[in-house]
Structure 1
Amino acid sequence: MTRPLALVTGASTGIGAAFARLLAAEGYDLLLAADEPAVHDVAKELDGTGRRAEACVVDLADPQAVHRLHDMAHGFGQSVDVAVLNAGIGVWGRFDEVDLDTQLRVVDLNVRSTVHLAVLLARDMAAAGRGRMLMVASIAGKAPGPGHAAYAASKAFVHSYAEAARHDLRGTGVSVTSLLPGPTATSFFRRNDMEEARVAQGPQASAETVARQGYEAMMRGRDMVVGGRLFHRVQTMFSGFVPDRLGAAIASRETERVGPPQE
């Protein structure tokens, strides 16, 4: 019998790789995408468990790459049952001082490619009458984000888009869930040169914990879930009651430079 198929972007490390391992354990074949060759290592690891796991090194900030990944999914000969849209990058610093091209790449990858791939996959899922999609946003998107303005705004977009897409797809058999991770022990802060920021040096949840929380919420058909520690779930719950000006002031403290991590 054909096993269900899951597609995971940003699957070379961190939350994406944790999702890939979890989905393999749950019986899914996998199409894994990332912008670095390490995604082949994850696919090889999971292919050895008896699951079919294929990797695609692709820069989803390029629209043609999104189509290429979608074509690879069609190559499995079945529709995608689960899609985890996790690929994303960040940028740290005062917005008028940070490299403009870097900020625009954040928008291209986090926002545009999410919309592009979500629409292509949702059409397939709706035609099949089934499917579960999870879009990875962030608790950073629940308030203005001084110090990482483009990143926080991009994740606010992803969360809002997921909630609207969920509503639009009512009655199709397709559900959409938004996952809002708090600080997570991945390579995110290192890759975005944020290791000296306060948020990078505080308590962090494991990628496996966040992936499990996201997976369970997605399979239950929930609209959203805050991933990580209880403190961040409570913090996010109350963020909607705080005026944006105050929220920006509170959030700015998390992106302050506090110096190198303590050994």
Structure 2
Amino acid sequence: MASNGQFAVVTGASTGIGLELARCCAKDGFDLLIAADEPEIERAAASLRANGANVETVQADLATSEGVDKLYAAIRGRQVDALLANAGRGLGHAFLDQDLSEVKRVIDTNVTGTVELIHKIGNDMRRRNAGRILITGSIAGFVPGSFQAIYNATKAFLNSFSFALREELKDTKITVSCLMPGATETEFFKRADMMDTKVGTEAKDDAADVARQGFDAMMSGESDVVTGMKNKIQSSVANVTPAEMLAKQHRGMAEPGTAKPH
């Protein structure tokens, strides 16, 4: 595929939605810098290059300022036309049963690292008054996430942050879009130790479909996209349902031991 001369940075791109977002960028002709905190990022890059994409990689832990700085340094002063801030981490089980270091890692990956990276690249975009930002939020951000409390709270932050940043930049040529998927077929639930839960074992949305909808929303400058009709309905219902009721409903999806027997 021929390069369109534009450059995109995609985080959390080793697997799942992030890798599919990178594929979307590649198909559209973007040159790519993709990042993740695991060696699988090289395998992801090889699959993209096999289809003719120009791809560079960074293995960096974006839960740390050092990791964010490492990724930013790899940009080497180039103009970032699109930033797809997708890196994220989940964590199942009851909050008081979780290891506090893992709790902090979720917050630092999903919130702190994302904010640091957007602040750096966003300021570069503002200086030249051009750019696109896609933030991967979640419909989980609409629901108090019992047995997934920290993850849902971080996604509530990202959903809110994306709309606020978009409003602040409304008089510029920088667009901010928020991708808000529901449960998606990725490694997320296995890594979050949630394979004994209903949400971890039930049928999920296809990552490629989710990514395509997010990419299209970014390219058209839309504010947000909730992927899938079921998720659109759930997010609408969540807006008018008491938080206490939502938390109770979420227990039925995410509490350990709720997985249906095969």
Distance in 2 (CA, whole Å) between partners of 1:8 and 1:183 is 20
Q: Name the counterpart of 1:210.
A: 210
Q: Name structure 1 gaps, 5 residues minimum.
A: none
Aligned-residue offset at 1:231: 0.9
Which amino acid is the alignment partner of residue 16 of structure 1? G
Distance in 1 (CA, whole Å) between partners of 2:91 and 2:78 is 37
Q: Name the counterpart of 2:28.
A: 26
Aligned partners of 2:146 and 2:255 also within 8 Å? no
Q: Name the counterpart of 1:148.
A: 148
Q: Secondary structure in 1 aligned to 2:252?
A: helix
Which amino acid is the alignment partner of residue 200 of structure 1? G
Aligned-residue offset at 1:140: 1.0
Q: Secondary structure in 1 aligned to 2:225?
A: strand
TM-score by length of 1: 0.95
Aligned-residue offset at 1:246: 1.2
Aligned-residue offset at 1:2: 6.6
Q: Secondary structure in 2 aligned to 1:205?
A: coil
Aligned partners of 1:195 and 1:261 also within 8 Å? no
Query: Does 2:35 align with 1:36?
Result: no
Q: Name the counterpart of 1:246.
A: 245
Q: Name the counterpart of 1:64.
A: 66
* C-alpha RMSD of matched pairs (Å): 1.5
Q: Name structure 2 gaps, 5 residues minimum.
A: none
TM-score by length of 2: 0.95
Q: Name the counterpart of 1:96.
A: 96
Q: Name the counterpart of 1:5.
A: 7
Distance in 2 (CA, whole Å) between partners of 1:142 and 1:212 is 22
Aligned partners of 1:137 and 1:159 also within 8 Å? yes
Distance in 1 (CA, whole Å) between partners of 2:35 and 2:176 is 20
Aligned-residue offset at 1:114: 0.8
Aligned partners of 2:93 and 2:256 also within 8 Å? no
Distance in 2 (CA, whole Å) between partners of 1:123 and 1:91 is 31
Aligned partners of 2:4 and 2:28 also within 8 Å? no
Query: Does 2:232 align with 1:230?
Result: no
Query: Does 2:161 align with 1:161?
Result: yes
Which amino acid is the alignment partner of residue 178 of structure 2? S
Which of 25, 46, 56 in structure 2 is aligned with 1:54? 56
Q: Sort the Cα spacing of 1:260 and 1:235 in 2 relative to 1 into closer, same or farther, 3 A.
A: closer
Q: Name the counterpart of 1:255.
A: 254
Q: Which consecutive segments of 4 or more residues in structure 1 shift more than 6 A?
A: none
Distance in 1 (CA, whole Å) between partners of 2:54 and 2:256 is 44
Aligned-pair identity in percent equals 38
Residue by residue, what CA displacement relative to the aligned partner does 1:40-64 show, whole Å, maximum 9, x if unpaired?
1111222333332001110011101
Report how many aligned residue pairs link the two structures. Answer: 260
Which amino acid is the alignment partner of residue 258 of structure 1? G
Which amino acid is the alignment partner of residue 84 of structure 1? L
Distance in 2 (CA, whole Å) between partners of 1:71 and 1:172 is 25
Aligned partners of 2:4 and 2:30 also within 8 Å? no
Aligned partners of 2:200 and 2:259 also within 8 Å? no
Which amino acid is the alignment partner of residue 179 of structure 2? L
